[in-house]
Amino acid sequence: MADIVEVKLIEFLKKKAFQPGDALPKELEMAEALGVSRNVVREGLSRLKMLGLIESRKKRGMVFVHPDILGSLEKVLDPIIMDDTTLKDIFELRLVLEMGLSELLYLKKTEKDIIELERIAKTQDTGDNTFRIKQEIAFHGKLYEMTGNETLKRFQIMLLPIFGYVTAMEEQPIQGKTNHLDLVEILKGGTKEDFSKAMLEHLAPHFNRLKDF
């Protein structure tokens, strides 16, 4: 019945429209008000703490903070403990994000970004597989970074293990016929539509993989 307390606490926070830094009632008061032991209240508070909704400071009490919405997701987004269906869903989600990025990229890209992106793309692709993956991560990570959307970027980083897990299943990595340098060239002078098309070609091997699931 700590679940109930948890829900009530969250409702309480939303209802009162707390500002960051505002202090919550003390544990004993809550326990009394809800008719449960301090122990149960602490369990509820502990969960909110993990969700990043509150922080506790001795003597001050619990204070409300703006939640770190991705914090909790981070803890469970691990391919080892996920079921296969969700794994596929997440893999697909990543591809959808990647495809949808074009519009934002063309809104926000700067000269400086593109130069940096080109530098990353030009890094020699040795035969080493772990290096290739690193380079892949760097390039696509930079794309997300260019959007200036921190949440999006963090989300992408969290998705990497999933991506790695799925792609690691195959021995011989299949390259799309459009590579990173092609993408950079389009970003320099081409249209959004060209970029979308090129990105699709670049991701084609992954889209094909969806059918195997």
Partner DNA sequence: ACATTTGATATGTAGAACATATAAACATTA
Partner DNA sequence: TAATGTTTATATGTTCTACATATCAAATGT
Distance from C-alpha of 152 to C-alpha of 144, rounded to nearest angstrom: 7
The yes or no reply on residue 8 touching DNA (CB under 7 A) is: no
Options 51, 52, 56, 79; binder of DNA; rule CB under 7 A: 56
Residues that bind a copy of itself in the complex, under the rule CB under 8 A: 2-3, 6, 10, 13-14, 17-18, 20, 39, 42-43, 46-47, 50-53, 66-67, 69-70, 72-73, 75-78, 80-83, 85-86, 89-90, 92-93, 95-104, 107, 147, 149-152, 155, 193, 196-197, 200, 207, 210
Distance from C-alpha of 109 to C-alpha of 46, rounded to nearest angstrom: 42
**Whole-number minimum distance, CB 38 to a copy of itself, in Å?**
11
Nearest to 101 by CA among 26, 41, 152: 152
**Whole-number minimum distance, CB 60 to a copy of itself, in Å?**
19
User: Which amino acid does the sequence have at 198?
Assistant: A
1 binds, options DNA, a copy of itself, none, Cβ within 5 to 8 A by partner type: DNA
Distance from C-alpha of 26 to C-alpha of 161, rounded to nearest angstrom: 40
62 binds, options DNA, a copy of itself, none, Cβ within 5 to 8 A by partner type: DNA
The yes or no reply on residue 16 touching DNA (CB under 7 A) is: no
Within 10 A of 40 (CB to CB), how many other CB atoms are there? 18
Distances (CA, A) of 30 to 1, 9, 19, 59, 67: 14, 9, 19, 16, 21
> Of the two residues 41 and 187, which places its CB atom closer to DNA in the complex?
41
